[in-house]
């Protein structure tokens, strides 16, 4: 039976839910307070330059099956450029390349690791020792570490402090938006098990070749073709609740009634939409304040000449974590996007200080930039960019739909939750957001809308990654 479903939030999770509901012949009404779709993974028009800038650079990996599926449904996969080589540097023009060799997974990255000049022989053996431990643990084994931090796991694997800082923390900060001393061991291990070890494709990195907002445009047509609506510039004020079911959403444009509601907003925002009665009736809503958040900083830099040839660069033990080459403009100038994850210490800095530190790092790792200053800059702070997958937070991540026991127990039957902070089994990524949206839409429609995972390679399965 065709039902009207209200979706609060036009970010990746909300879009994923709305598209799948439209395909399942439900009428989705998507409300978004901003004038553009995409949420925290969206774009904005910079009033200083008139350019359309992404809030922050977002990447996907080959193992992100649900995000790839969503892009395929939207018809925008050709706007993703895939990179099989990952570039690392400590600076001074010395760059190491991580790329799959001829060996089968999980050994495919081993030759390039051995060639990396960032680490000496003892450090490489230590990395290999921890990787082997993660391979043998498999999925069941990593879940037993959910209550511990990844740093505790690394300590059990006898990892030297230099390796913890330069290798493990570099990867995990970028993938989980939290350092190894804060993040739960389970999602951190998943990054390596599924992203780097399971097969030869999963580590491959995809980067959008257009502003992120251009990836989401087709969603509106899909939703409207199924009889739904996309209401931009409409803010939710409260989720209406009659004591048994939710009946709709109170917005700045009036009340929208629906047979079900999917909340696809961050936990702090959801907490402001539910009253005491609704919160008391649904245990998924009672621990929203326990979901800690973590900031990300994006710095957009424009130079009047080319300074960077590589498509991206991982910076080891610098203030900035990543540099992304956004291309050369018609005047020959270079656009570089710098990213700092887990950026708590940067949030109180002025834009002048942020740019100074960022440019210092650019000069350190890109010799062609030395002596040059950017001609235009924009620092974008996302103070509550993602949830922080700490051991404590992992215990409080709710499911999409109400169940009978645990965090899903005693819930309101027609209220569904989406967002990367929900219990998707993934850290704070666009992939996790899409999975949550698919799960919520599937719960509404009464079908499983999950996408098949990239299967582990034969050898990886035999060793424990099946």
pLDDT at 407: 47
Show the 3-state SS of the chain.
Answer: CCCEEEEECCEHHHHHHHHHHHHCCCEEEEEECCCCCEHHHCEEECCCCCCEEECCCCEEECCCHHHHHHHHHHCCHHHEEEECEEEEEEECCEEEEEECCCCCCCCCCHHHHHHCCCCCHHHHHHHHHHHHHHHHHHHHHHHCCCCCEHHHHHHHCCCCHHHHHHHHHHHHHHHHCCCCCCCEHHHHHHHHHHHHHCCCCCCCEEEECCCCHHHHHHHHHHHHHCCCEEEECCCEEEEEECCCCEEEEEECCEEEECCEEEECCCHHHHHHHCCHHHHHHCHHHCCHHHCCEEEEEEEEEEECCCCCCCCEEEECCCCCCEEEEEEECCCCCEEEEEEEECCHHHCCCCHHHHHHHHHHHHHHHCHHHCCCCCCEEEEEEEEEEEECCCHHHHCCCCCCCCECCHHHECCCCCEEECCCCCCCCCCCCHHHHHHHHHHHHHHHHCCCCCCCCCCCCHHHHHHHHC
In this prediction, the residues of the chain whose per-residue pLDDT falls under 70 are: 1, 404-410
Per-residue model confidence (pLDDT) at position 419: 97
Residue 93's pLDDT is 81
pLDDT value of position 405: 52
């Amino acid at each position: 039976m065709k039902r009207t479903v209200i979706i609060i939030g036009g970010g990746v999770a909300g879009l994923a839910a709305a598209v799948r509901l439209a395909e399942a012949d439900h009428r989705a009404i998507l409300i978004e307070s901003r004038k553009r779709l995409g949420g925290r993974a969206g774009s904005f028009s910079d009033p200083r330059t008139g350019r359309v800038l992404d809030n922050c650079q977002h990447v996907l990996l080959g193992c992100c099956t649900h995000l790839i599926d969503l892009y395929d449904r939207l018809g925008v996969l050709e706007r993703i450029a895939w990179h099989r080589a990952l570039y690392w540097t400590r600076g001074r023009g010395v760059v190491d390349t991580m790329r799959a060799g001829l060996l089968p997974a999980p050994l495919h990255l081993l030759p390039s690791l051995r060639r990396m000049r960032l680490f000496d022989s003892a450090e490489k053996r230590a990395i290999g020792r921890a990787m082997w431990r993660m391979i043998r643990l498999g999925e069941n084994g990593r879940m037993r570490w959910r209550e511990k931090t990844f740093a505790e796991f690394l300590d059990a694997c006898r990892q030297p402090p230099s390796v913890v800082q330069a290798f493990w923390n570099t990867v995990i900060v970028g993938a989980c938006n939290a350092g190894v001393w804060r993040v739960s061991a389970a999602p951190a291990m998943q990054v390596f098990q599924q992203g780097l070890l399971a097969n030869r494709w999963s580590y491959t990195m995809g980067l959008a070749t257009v502003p992120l907002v251009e990836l989401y445009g087709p969603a509106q047509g899909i939703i409207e073709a199924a009889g739904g609506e996309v209401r931009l510039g409409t803010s939710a004020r409260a989720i209406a609740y009659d004591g048994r079911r939710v009946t709709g959403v109170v917005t700045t444009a009036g009340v929208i009634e629906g047979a079900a509601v999917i909340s696809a907003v961050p936990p702090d925002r959801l907490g402001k939409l539910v009253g005491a009665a609704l919160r008391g009736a649904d245990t998924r809503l009672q621990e929203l304040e326990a979901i800690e958040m973590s900031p990300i900083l994006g710095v957009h830099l424009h130079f009047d000449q080319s300074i960077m040839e590589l498509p991206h660069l991982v910076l080891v033990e610098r203030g900035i974590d990543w540099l992304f080459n956004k291309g050369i403009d018609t005047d020959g100038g270079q656009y570089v996007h710098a990213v700092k994850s887990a950026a708590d210490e940067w949030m109180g800095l002025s834009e002048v200080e942020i740019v100074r530190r960022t440019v210092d790092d650019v000069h350190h790792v890109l010799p062609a930039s030395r002596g040059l200053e950017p001609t235009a800059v924009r620092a974008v702070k996302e103070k509550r960019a993602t949830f922080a997958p700490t051991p404590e937070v992992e215990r409080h991540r709710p499911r999409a739909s109400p169940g009978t026991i645990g965090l899903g127990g005693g819930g309101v039957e027609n209220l569904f939750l989406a967002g990367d902070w929900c219990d998707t089994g993934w850290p704070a990524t666009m992939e996790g957001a899409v999975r949550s949206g698919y799960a919520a839409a599937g719960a509404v429609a009464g079908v499983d809308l999950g996408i098949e995972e990239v299967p582990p390679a034969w050898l990886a399965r035999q060793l424990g990654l099946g």
